[in-house]
Amino acid sequence: MLGLGSMGAGMCLLLAEHGYQLFGFDPNQGSVKKLLHDSKAAGLSVEVQSSYEQLCKQVKDGHGPGLFILSTPHGPAVDKLLKEMRPHLDRGDIIVDCGNEHWESTERRQQELSKDGIHLIGCGVSGGYQSARSGPSFSPGGEAEVLDKLMPFFKGIAAKDRQGRPCVRPVGPGSSGHYVKMVHNGIEQGMLSVLSEGWFILVHGLGLSYPAVADVFASWNRDGPLHDCFLIGIAADGLQARNPEGGGFEVDVVRDKVVQDVEDSEGTGNWACEEAMALHMPAATIVTAHMFRYASAYASDRKENREAASGVAALKPGRLRVQSRDDFVALLQRATYFSFLCCFVQGMDLLRAKDRDRGWGLDYTDIMQLWRGGCIIQADGVVDLLDDMYKRHERHRTDDVLADSEVAKELSSQYSAAKQVVLEAVRADLYVPAVSQSLEYYKYMTSTALPTQFMEAQLDYFGEHMFDTWDEPPGEPRTGSHHYEWKAARGKVDE
């Protein structure tokens, strides 16, 4: 295991518990000491090495090719590590990169290493440090034969779903495993935003105490379409945590700034948005959630400007004017489900667009299985719905999730609840960026006549942009073959 931070160390202990002979490596002595301490306390055997040479020698000593698992920050750190390790690697060695790596870097490294017969698997690992210790969800991608060889290993240590099935599948070739993890994280950020908006509505809009909000989340997590949802489960738990010093609630200590290091603007959330742009996919909830996160850091870092703007705007989130709190909580539950479903629809359409582009040939019921346990976006009600949908489609794929009749029915039946929540929240100046964007997304994605008709006309007026007409079959990519001299034609038609 190369990289003994919280994820790497957790996986070390997990592997040792499963009887693997394990050697750890990390230049950070603090991490090494902590792992040795934790493994001793757990009665598990983990050895550490202090050079790549020793590590590679010991891993392979008499055992044939070695398996090297990376759990390190992405980007140049991995290139440096591979460069230094390379002289000690041999044909047949397998490297599994368990970091959140950009798919292009993974493909570049796969190509470079394959020249020497070294295999690189790009593997998403989800569930945070606690799942790393108890069994995460894995999304490994790379050469099929290598994935087959590794499957028993992954299956043994992966999280298990409610039926005891492991949350791992060979995802597909190349960088598809890391890409799937990036999509997972895009969906994750959408869900996190939706949930934070709901939390704020419950607390500030309805005036519920934290324990009461925790009860609401716990009941959502128990029954109804949001059952067995990891993020809702931890929401119910976390809201009960007390601050050891002040005696209040720990969540009140937390500033509203969601940290995203600008230097490290290459996180998975960013990549998911960049990919949506690159592939022209309208992942509105996912992108908006990311913008909300940016806004929180931007505003927080400019505290004085924020206060000045706030003074002028004089907008204070107020109480909702609703007749029954319980009825509104029920509406919010449905709006949350609606918005979560939109996050998944957008993520899956993005993934499918990439899959088509790269020719990966993914099986989407397999992807659903990855997300049934151990991962952050586990939401069994949503995943069951999509899984059933994929099973109905040829080769378990569809290019357009919204077009599926069952998904369409489900979203349509929740639309009015989401609309009411947005209307009331807007009236009370509460924040609903991701929920309202889900509503808009659904509305425009199911429309057959959008205001963009006028946008296209304007573009043609000033830029000779060219346009399609209603009586032509829709073309892809853009066919726009008509231009009109709008100005010259002004007033020519009496009406």
Distance CA 272, CA 276 (A): 6
**DSSP annotation string for 409-431:** HHHHHHHHHHHHHHHHHHHTT--
Nearer to ligand 6PG, 343 or 389 (CB): 343
For ligand 6PG (CB under 6 A), the number of binding residues is: 12
Sign of CA dihedral 72, 37, 51, 20: negative
Is 107 a catalytic site residue? no
Give the footprint of ligand 6PG on residues 77-106 (CB under 6 A).
100
Distance CA 266, CA 270 (A): 6
Residue of 8, 177, 233, 269 interacting with ligand 6PG (CB under 6 A): 269
Under the criterion CB under 6 A, does residue 437 sit at the interface with ligand 6PG?
no
230-238 and 176-200 helices cross at what angle (nearest 10)? 40
Strand 119-126 relative to strand 137-141: parallel, antiparallel, unpaired?
A: antiparallel
Nearer to ligand 6PG, 119 or 184 (CB): 184
Task: Tell me the closest approach of the beta carbon of residue 190 to ligand 6PG, in angstroms.
Answer: 12
Task: Tell me the closest approach of the beta carbon of residue 261 to ligand 6PG, in angstroms.
Answer: 8
Catalytic residue among 107, 188, 410, 424: 188
Give the 3-state secondary structure of 123-168. EEEECHHHHHHHCCEEEEECCHHHHHHHHHHHHHHCCECCCCCECE
Backbone φ, ψ for residue 97 (5° rounding): -90, 105
Put the strands of the sheet holding 119-126 in their side by side order: 67-70, 94-97, 119-126, 137-141
Task: Tell me the closest approach of the beta carbon of residue 287 to ligand 6PG, in angstroms.
Answer: 14
Nearer to ligand 6PG, 186 or 198 (CB): 186
Sign of CA dihedral 150, 153, 157, 158: positive
Distance CA 447, CA 50 (A): 61
Q: Is cis: bond before 211, omega within 30 of 0?
A: no
Give the footprint of ligand 6PG on residues 131-190 (CB under 6 A).
184-185, 188
Stretch that binds ligand 6PG, among 73-81, 109-117, 265-273, 460-468 (CB under 6 A): 265-273
Residue of 67, 96, 375, 379 interacting with ligand 6PG (CB under 6 A): 375
Task: Tell me the closest approach of the beta carbon of residue 326 to ligand 6PG, in angstroms.
Answer: 33
Catalytic residue among 60, 101, 107, 181: 181
In the numeric block, which tokens belong to residue 51? 């050079």
Q: Are 466 and 231 in contact (CB under 8 A)?
A: no
Nearer to ligand 6PG, 170 or 269 (CB): 269
Under the criterion CB under 6 A, does residue 365 sit at the interface with ligand 6PG?
no
Nearer to ligand 6PG, 92 or 128 (CB): 128
Which H or E run includes 294? Answer: helix 284-301
| x/- map, 113-142, ligand 6PG, by CB under 6 A | -------------xxx--------------
Rg (CA), the chain: 25
Is 274 a catalytic site residue? no
Nearer to ligand 6PG, 226 or 273 (CB): 273
In the numeric block, which tokens belong to residue 44? 């598990």
Nearer to ligand 6PG, 128 or 480 (CB): 128
Task: Tell me the closest approach of the beta carbon of residue 187 to ligand 6PG, in angstroms.
Answer: 9
The catalytic residue positions are 181, 188
Which residues are near ligand 6PG by CB under 6 A? Answer: 100, 126-128, 184-185, 188, 267-269, 375-376
